[in-house]
Amino acid sequence: MKMKPLAPECGVEVEGVQLAEARGETLESIKQAIWEHGVAVFRDQELGPEAQIDFARAWGGIDINAYFPLDDRWPEIAVVRKRADQQTNIGGAWHTDHSYDQVPAMGSILAARVLPPTGGDTLFSHMGAAYDALSDDLKARIEDLSAFHTADHVYQEGGIYAQTDQGADLRGHEVRTGATHPVVIRHPRTGRRLLYVNPSFTIHFTGQTGAQSLPLMQELWAEAMKPAHQCRVVWQPGTVTIWDNRTTWHNALNDYQGHARELHRITLTGEPLAA
């Protein structure tokens, strides 16, 4: 197995491994790489839905997503789909999956199934690199803060997706979420300090209103969105990408109007977060 960086601060491409067979020490090395680099890309994978589920079970538990369409045959798989006639994609803004859960999902395994002829790349940003780049003053200001996260405004009836042509395909309009996390967490496995707020699901700092929180929140987001901390996954048939939701943000680009894109996502169970 060989690994080469996708970008200086984020991501690796892993060669010489089939995920369907990766177990034992190989799986441990893959986990370590994803915890450190945030995201790993695997090309030319033979990983159909059953094999994807088996691999996820070998990694650990599976968290079933409450909102995305499911396929009855494989309820563990959330279908990330944009039909050719739809304008809006899923995940087309910077976010980290499931930060609205008190024990957020560790990460996600996303397998390409249908790809547009060009475009539809996914951007990732490394939250350890973003935290390191903050000024000492900014680090001191966020040291003891926590923040509230929810997905209600995104998925509920009348929420963001309901205003779009994805609304009818999504589920869970009645689900209510809410979680409070430290703004700076330590990665549960590597110990690295990570910025843990994101523009899609983080609403306010604890003890402050949304309006009071916004100026500082925007300073943090501005650092987290800098291209220096990012890497880009260009999908190809057979590509599987696995990321760590604590270490990274991601953003699915919606630049392929008139074409379909479908990927299968399994969300991996995480562990409690701490400062």
**Cα angle value 81/27/69 (rounded, 5°):** 15
What's the Cα-to-Cα distance from 49 to each of 52, 72, 91, 113, 266, rounded to whole Å? Answer: 5, 12, 21, 10, 10
**Binders in 99-118 for ligand SIN, by CB under 6 A:** 108, 110
β 248-252/122-126 pair status: antiparallel
Least distance in Å: CB of 139 to ligand SIN?
Answer: 28
Which of 122/213 has CB closer to ligand SIN? 122
265 lies in the binding site for ligand SIN (CB under 6 A): yes
**Burial class (CB within 10 angstroms; exposed 0-12, middle 13-18, buried 19+) of 135:** exposed
Give the interface size with ligand SIN as a residue count (CB under 6 A). Answer: 11
**Helix, strand or coil, per DSSP, at residue 268:** strand
41 lies in the binding site for ligand SIN (CB under 6 A): no
Choose one: 18-26, 89-97, 126-134, 137-145; the region binding ligand SIN (CB under 6 A): 89-97
Among 252, 266, 268, 273, binds ligand SIN (CB under 6 A): 252
Which amino acid is located at 198 in the chain?
Answer: N
Residue with tokens 């900014």: 138
Which of 6/252 has CB closer to ligand SIN? 252
Which neighbouring-strand residues pair with 262? 81, 114
In a 13 Å sphere around the CA of 269, the CA atoms on its Cβ side amount to 10
248 lies in the binding site for ligand SIN (CB under 6 A): no
264 lies in the binding site for ligand SIN (CB under 6 A): no
Is the distance from CB of 203 to CB of 9 less than 8 angstroms? no
Q: At what angle do helices 49-59 and 24-37 cross, to 10 degrees?
A: 80
**Helix, strand or coil, per DSSP, at residue 143:** coil
Least distance in Å: CB of 51 to ligand SIN?
Answer: 20
Which of 126/250 has CB closer to ligand SIN? 250
In a 13 Å sphere around the CA of 226, the CA atoms on its Cβ side amount to 17
Among 97, 101, 223, 244, binds ligand SIN (CB under 6 A): 97
34 lies in the binding site for ligand SIN (CB under 6 A): no
**Binders in 51-80 for ligand SIN, by CB under 6 A:** 80
β 230-233/74-82 pair status: unpaired
Least distance in Å: CB of 187 to ligand SIN?
Answer: 20
Least distance in Å: CB of 250 to ligand SIN?
Answer: 6
Which of 138/159 has CB closer to ligand SIN? 159
Choose one: 47-55, 90-98, 166-174, 207-215; the region binding ligand SIN (CB under 6 A): 90-98
Distance from C-alpha of 64 to C-alpha of 175, rounded to nearest angstrom? 13
145 lies in the binding site for ligand SIN (CB under 6 A): no
Query: Which parts of this chain interact with ligand SIN (CB under 6 A)?
Result: 80, 90-91, 97, 108, 110, 122, 250, 252, 263, 265
